[in-house]
Structure formats: C-alpha cells, structure tokens
Amino acid sequence: MTARSRTRRLAAVLAAGASIAALATATQPAAAAPEQHALPIVTPTPQSLGRDSGDVPVSDEVVLVADSGTDAAARDLVTALLREHGARKVTVVAPGREPRHSHALVVRLGGAGRADVTRAVPVPDQAEGYALSTAGGEIVIGGRDGSGQYYGAQTLRQLFVPSGHGWAISGVAVRDWPNMSLRGSIEGFYGPPWSTADRLRQIAFLGEVKANTYVYSAKDDAYLRAQWRDPYPAGELATLGQLVQSATAHHVDFTYALSPGVSICFSSPDDIAAVKAKLQSVYDLGVRSFSIPFDDISYTKWNCAADQTTFGTPGQAAAGKAQVSLLNAITTGFIKTHDGARPLQTVPTEYSDLKDSPYKTELRENLDPSVVVQWTGTDVVPPSVTTDEAQQVSTVYGRKVFLWDNYPVNDYEQSAGRLLLAPYAQRQAGLSQYLNGIVANPMNQEAASEVAEFGATDFAWNDAGYSPERSWPQALARLAGGDARASAALAVFADLEHLAPTFGPTPWQPQAPVLAAKTKAFWQRWNAGDHRRSMADLRAYAVQIRDAAKVIRGGHVASAFVDEASPWLDASTYWGGALVDQLDALAASARGDDQAAQRLTASADALVTKAQAVKTGNTNRWGVRQALVGDGVLDAVITQARAATLG
C-alpha cells in the first residue's frame, strides 16, 4: 500500500486502532475509557495535545501560506493531504498575500522566524520541535527547523475526521518535540537481505513515524565489510544514491556504517586514507551521517605486524587504543572538515554489558567526546532496558549512549521459524536521560518489522508518554490501512506471533497471551460444568484464528506484509481449523455423540498434520523451518481437548 492510499484511510486507521485495543490490552493494565469527545490519537505521542477549537472544515479551496523558509517536503505533504481530504484547489501564497474576504481555509506553514506563524503558535526551542494550532479557523504549523515543519505535517495527517459529506481537521493545539535526538532503525541483521524496494519502503515508513535515522549496516553489502577498501561499482553506487535521495526527501539521515575492523591495519596511513576515500564516495551522494562499527570482530589479534609495534601486545587495552586512534583520525580529518557531517558513530567491540574494562577505559578517557557510542543493552537481545543500566553504561563510556535494540530481529536460532510481532515493551520511561537515541534492528521481513519499529520510534520520541497498550493497536491498524475488520484479524494473528525470544531459554515476551488467557478460562468453566459458556467464547475465538488469514488477505493490509507472512498465515488457518474441529469434537463427546466426536477429531488431526508441514521458505539464515504459530499454547489446547474428547 502506498503512503498516499494510507493517508486516505487515516480516520479509519484511528478507529481501527481503537477497535482492537481490547485485544491488545489483554495482558496490559486496562486503559481508562475515552471521554465522549476524546482527543484524536496521535503517534508518536506528543508532548502536549489539547482542545483548541471546534473542528475546522476543509473547504473546496485552500490557501497555503509559505515562503522560502518553508520546508519543501512539509509543503508538499500538506498540499497532498489537503487535496486528498476534499480541497479541490490549493493555492500557495507568500505571507501577507492572503486573499481578503475569501471563504477559503487558510493554512500557515513555516519556521520559527516567521512573524505570522509565531503570532499564532509558540514554536518550541528544541530541535525538530513543532507547534500546531487550529484557533481562529486557521491551521498554523510552525517548526523549529525543517524537520519540525515536516513532523508537524505528519501530525496533521492524523487529524482529519469525517464531517458531513466531507472532511474536517480536529480542533486541537499541539506542542511537540522528541526526547531522543536519534530515532529509527539499523539494517544490521544477517541472512537474506532486503531488496531496494524494501529499503525504500522502510525509509518512507521512518519519515511517516517521525524517525530520523536509518543506519545502513547491511551484512550482504561486501563493500561495507569484507571488501571495505574497494570502491563501489557504478551500478551499486547508483542504488545507494537512490536510497540516500529517498532518505533526504523523508527527513531521514542515511547513516553509512563502514566496518573495516575485519582487516584494517590501524597504524597504516594507506588504510586510514582508504577509510576516508570510502566515506567520501558516499558523501558525494549526499550522505552526511557516518558510523565505523567494530562489532563482531576479534580484538585480541592484529591484522598487521605494524600495529603491535604501534599499540603493543594484542589485548583489550591495545584494541581500545587502536580503535580510538582511527575514530579520532576520522573525526578530525573527515567529519570536522566536511560541511554538514553529523558526529561520527561507532559500535564498540564490547557492546553488550555494563562492566568496565581496559578496553572501555581507553574509549572513555581518549575517544573524541563528539563520537556517538552504541550499546545493545545488557545482552545481545536484552529482556529489558532500565534507567539504572543506561546510567551505568553512560558512566562507563563517559557519554550518553545510543541504543542498538535487537528487537524485532529474527536472525538467530532461538527465533527460527518465527515472526516477532509483539509490542515494543520492557524499555523503561526515563531512558532519554541517558540515551541519545534508539535504533531497532529489524527482521529479514521488512513490512512485518514495522509493527515493533512503530513502537520503538514512539518510545524514542516520548518515552515518558509511551504506552504499549496504546501504540501496538495503532501499529496494527496502520498496517491494515484503516480496515477495521483486518485490524482485528491482525490482532488475533499477532497474538499467535507474540513470543519474543532471547539468546537464552526464557523468552522476554510470552507466546499468545490472549489465547492463553482464553484457554485458561475455558478449562476452568468446562471443568466446573459450564460447558455452554466456556465453549461459546473459546470456539468463537478459534473461528477468528481460522479465518484471520482470509480476512487479512482480503482487506487493505499492506501487500508486502501479506507476502512476507504468507507461510504463517497458511499455518494459522490450519491450526485455527483444527482447534474449531477439536472443540466441536469435545462438545459432541460431552453430549454422548461418540461418532461425531471421532469424525471431528480425525479432521482436527489432519489439519494439525497440514499445519506442521507448512514451511517458512528460505527467508532467514536459519533456512527453511516449520512456520511456528502460537506454539506452546495453540497446539497445547488442541492436544488437551483431544485427550478430553477421547477420554
């Protein structure tokens, strides 16, 4: 689905998100019931949002007041939104050139230096901040910078409401800015890579959710790692340029992550020059954000004899000295000499713990203070991230750190056969005090990754205001393109893909919490003799499981997600059908119809066999596996019902 078609269904998305909130909150604290005139849900959650006026109708003609300081992407987005919501004509005029005695809606869009904007809205001082007002029947969007204007337009996207036979803009005032300066994703997984279309879709998604960072650390790009010294062939360089242009258009920094640690000679002037040359080749494409990561390398041996002479015997301290020398040389000799270049980023070799070490001491004491250091939490896949942990690691590295969050990545054995569709959770409010950003490492399946990434960017924008039980339904509703029925089906399906593993045996989010709760209630009622009520509730949910794939495929769900999830959707149909049949068999047995019970049990057994035969396809580095759906919960209730049926 295109961004344009998603916009047309925005009001439906908001309604769909509300309609599935009950399912999403099955394992979360209950939210307060909305007031009769509830404010619109805006994501990421704004710093402040309140009623400003009555809803403002979108007129047939609209005057958009803009000048040379108006961000072009924001202007184009606002124009498109207005046209998609009923404005037949949008006329762009300079401030002071507004037509008098006109019935046209006036929309003002500009920066903090424009008098007609600042008279109407108090533009925040924070970078990327914006304010939006509907008072006086005008729409005013003021941004601290170009990104702020663009994010104000992305908020406007979420304020259109049906009104009579047309559209109106919800009468609200918004004042907003991000708590973390870096927000987005890092393409850092192993296994089959994303296509160019996947990457372009990801970048557009990041812009839509007010994320500003896409770290290009693609393991399939040999020119980032194994062949880091070699220049890109013309065709690959052109493809990179296409990605960079798209990122710029969506106010996303394309961060180029060159990984020379596998073979670099740190003391070699030629290798330092090769790093600069490689960075220059993508700087010329428009890249302004760079990273030199040292993850997943050996740091207790040298790649050249000269490094032992320069830095000493291989070890933690020597590795720290060598890495610091390169990072400081690139900071001084490239970053600070290139107009517009952002502070250099790095991933230390020791990226997943809190302990001090000779290696970390070198980075803390000698690394240029402008260099941004990434950290993955207390493990490669941490079950939680707390403020105490972030405070400790910021002390160890002597600076705020940048969280590389390995969720929802599914390139490791514990995630084999799985999609990871649980909400972004177990990250503590207050982390913005110690983190300067979060990037989520996604799955090999790009569109499916957007569910968790939606929450990660929501959290990074406003960690104090983040709520998984509010954000997750909105992520699913967005994926469904505003189709309420498909949104509900996605909630059922996502519950069956809820398990979030770590590198250990214990997952940090449970499998199928909604189904597990319904199953527990079913057996309690059934064993107490209340067969009718227990059967009605669980069987109805089993039908939803069985039919979810058909609804998802027949609705407005993003086609890329449908394609990626196809094996799991197939398996859910079989598993759901098996549960329906086995419950019917149990009911038949309870009323003494043994023949029907045996026939239905045989049908359920056949469907289970089909479900277990569904394979994922070769989409991850763990290869072809069984497509796991609700495992440990869905299969368990079928087995238990079968045993109770056959006595």
DSSP 264-324: --TT-HHHHHHHHHHHHHHHTTT--EEE---TTS--SS-SSHHHHHHH-SSSHHHHHHHHH
Domain limit, last residue, from 119, 146, 176 = 176
Rg, the chain, Cα only: 27
Domain of 115, CATH number, reads 3.30.379.10
Domain of 445, CATH number, reads 3.20.20.80
User: 258 and 120: one domain?
Assistant: no
Q: Which residue has the higher pLDDT, 28 or 191?
A: 191
The band of 14, judged by pLDDT with boundaries at 50, 70 and 90, is very low
Percent of the chain with pLDDT over 70: 94
The band of 1, judged by pLDDT with boundaries at 50, 70 and 90, is very low
Residue 185: the pLDDT is: 98
- 37 belongs to a structural domain: no
pTM as predicted: 0.93
User: 138 and 102: one domain?
Assistant: yes
User: 409 and 526: one domain?
Assistant: no
Residues β-bridged to residue 168: 57, 161
User: 283 and 242: one domain?
Assistant: yes
Taking only the tens place, the pLDDT of each residue in 328-360 is: 999 999 999 999 999 999 999 999 999 999 999
The band of 313, judged by pLDDT with boundaries at 50, 70 and 90, is very high
User: 560 and 617: one domain?
Assistant: yes
∠ CA 355-430-146 to the nearest 5 degrees? 110
User: 267 and 399: one domain?
Assistant: yes
Query: Which residue's entry shows tokens 């991850």?
Result: 620
Amino acid letter for position 328: N
- 461 belongs to a structural domain: yes
Question: What tokens appear for 591 in the block?
Answer: 């009323």
The DSSP secondary-structure symbol of 135 reads G
- 471 belongs to a structural domain: no
Residue 36: the pLDDT is: 33
Domain limit, last residue, from 133, 154, 176 = 176
Taking only the tens place, the pLDDT of each residue in 362-398 is: 999 999 999 999 999 999 999 999 999 999 999 999 9
Residue 45 clears pLDDT 50, i.e. is over it: yes
Containing domain of residue 335, as a range?
Answer: 182-466
User: 209 and 170: one domain?
Assistant: no
Could you tell me how far CA 261 lies from the centroid of its own chain?
A: 29
The band of 100, judged by pLDDT with boundaries at 50, 70 and 90, is confident
Residue 319 clears pLDDT 60, i.e. is over it: yes
Task: Report how far apart the first and last C-alpha atoms of the chain are (Å, whole number).
Answer: 50
User: 151 and 201: one domain?
Assistant: no
Confirm if 220 and 196 have CB atoms less than 8 A apart.
no
Residue 30: the pLDDT is: 39
Cis status of the peptide bond prior to 408, with omega within 30 of 0: yes
Q: What is the DSSP string of 163-209?
A: ETTEEEE--EEEEE--SSSEEEEEE---SSPPPHHHHHHHHHHHHHT
Strands of 160-163's sheet in order across: 56-57, 166-169, 160-163
Non-local (6+) Cβ contacts of 119 within 8 A are none
User: 172 and 228: one domain?
Assistant: no
Least confident segment among 170-179, 296-305, 400-409, 577-586: 296-305
The band of 164, judged by pLDDT with boundaries at 50, 70 and 90, is confident
| H or E element in which residue 521 lies | helix 513-527
The band of 270, judged by pLDDT with boundaries at 50, 70 and 90, is very high
Residue 352: the pLDDT is: 95
Strands of 130-133's sheet in order across: 48-51, 172-176, 130-133, 139-143, 105-111, 61-65, 89-93
Question: What tokens appear for 570 in the block?
Answer: 């197939």
User: 399 and 520: one domain?
Assistant: no
**591 burial via Cβ count (<10 Å: 0-12, 13-18, 19+):** exposed
Taking only the tens place, the pLDDT of each residue in 414-460 is: 999 999 999 999 999 999 999 999 999 999 999 999 999 999 999 99
Residue 35 clears pLDDT 80, i.e. is over it: no
Domain limit, last residue, from 149, 176, 203 = 176
Question: What tokens appear for 306 in the block?
Answer: 């000269």
The band of 117, judged by pLDDT with boundaries at 50, 70 and 90, is very high
Residue 23: the pLDDT is: 43
Q: Is 71 a catalytic residue?
A: no
- 32 belongs to a structural domain: no
Catalytic residue among 52, 55, 116, 296: 296
- 400 belongs to a structural domain: yes
Residue 298 clears pLDDT 50, i.e. is over it: yes
- 20 belongs to a structural domain: no
Report the number of distinct structural domains present in the chain: 3
Closest to 408 (Cα-Cα) out of 502, 479, 314, 493: 502
Residue 328: the pLDDT is: 98
- 315 belongs to a structural domain: yes
Confirm if 592 and 640 have CB atoms less than 8 A apart.
no
Residue 475: the pLDDT is: 98
Taking only the tens place, the pLDDT of each residue in 520-530 is: 999 999 999 99
- 377 belongs to a structural domain: yes
Confirm if 479 and 490 have CB atoms less than 8 A apart.
yes
User: 93 and 160: one domain?
Assistant: yes
Residue 102: the pLDDT is: 82
The band of 19, judged by pLDDT with boundaries at 50, 70 and 90, is very low
Residue 62: the pLDDT is: 97
At 645 the three-state DSSP class reads helix
Distances (CA, A) of 319 to 352, 395, 404: 17, 20, 22
User: 93 and 223: one domain?
Assistant: no
Rounded to whole angstroms, the Cα distance separating 153 from 82 reads 11
Residue 595: the pLDDT is: 97
